[in-house]
Homo-oligomer: A and B are copies of this chain.
Amino acid sequence: MSNKRIIGFDADDTLWENEVFFYRAQMKFIELHPQMKDPEEEILQIEKENIKFYGYGIKGFILSLLEASVRFSNNQPDFQNIAKIIKIGKDMLAQPIQVLPKVKDTLGHLSERYELIMITKGDLLDQQRKVEKSGLLKYFSSIEIVSEKDEQTYLEILKKNNISPKDFLMVGNSLKSDVLPVTKIGGTGIYIPHKFTWKHEEVNGTFDLERIVELKTISDLKLWLKKLI
């Protein structure tokens, strides 16, 4: 290590595709329920209501879709839809990992110079499986699977790693989970947008832009870090 900085990486939609599979699953669901008026909004509403029960991840998503199927089928239920939605969930859980472009190169380069940790939220088993299947484990000194990415979570991770916030950079595609809480505790948030971002993760309002860096792709990290030193 030539540098005491620690770089945290979000995983879903930062290192590998994720949201697109939720998107496709939702499209399949909508095809099965042509009677829904504003399906995306109706599903999002149920998902939001259910986060306090289910947290994040595929299993909770599927339970919410099943609930939506019941709620919006009124008196003309199609029982086969239930079986089809369960199958959609299992297909999602068995989905191969699609590592995003330039991720391997970038992590290979950075892991020789910095300590990298992966910080991801969601189902424990599902996330562990994704980490293993991704082939990216070797680049990280530790993997943190958390239930919520808020200031408290980041403070605990920094404490565990014995590092001060000013030496911590967090890279991710979610302003709400990866960038803002990190900037609030005095770290730097590096925002790399992804085409698909879950609506629940979208943030409104203004925020201190001083500690936020926006990069187009993950491979821009190398150059940006070089300039920083």
Contact = CB atoms under 8 A, between A and B. Distances in A.
B125 A93 contact: no
A207 interface: no
Interface in A123-171: 123-126, 128, 145-147
A179 B105 CA distance: 43
Nearest to A54: B59
Tell me whether chain A's interface is mostly helix, strand or loop, or mixed: helix
A103 interface: no
A60 B63 contact: no
A70 B67 CA distance: 15
Nearest to A142: B160
Interface residues of A, number: 31
Contact of A70 (B82, B90, B125): B82
Interface string A83-101: 1001001100110000000
Contacts of A186: none
Given A73-B79, A124-B147, 16 more contacts: A53-B94, A54-B59, A54-B125, A55-B126, A59-B60, A59-B63, A62-B63, A63-B89, A67-B83, A67-B86, A70-B79, A70-B83, A71-B83, A123-B124, A125-B147, A128-B147
27 contacts: A53-B89, A53-B94, A54-B59, A54-B125, A55-B123, A55-B124, A55-B125, A55-B126, A56-B125, A59-B59, A59-B60, A62-B63, A63-B63, A69-B82, A70-B82, A70-B86, A71-B83, A73-B79, A77-B77, A77-B79, A79-B79, A82-B82, A123-B123, A124-B124, A124-B147, A125-B147, A128-B147
Interface of A: 53-56, 59-60, 62-63, 66-67, 69-71, 73, 77, 79, 82-83, 86, 89-90, 93-94, 123-126, 128, 145-147
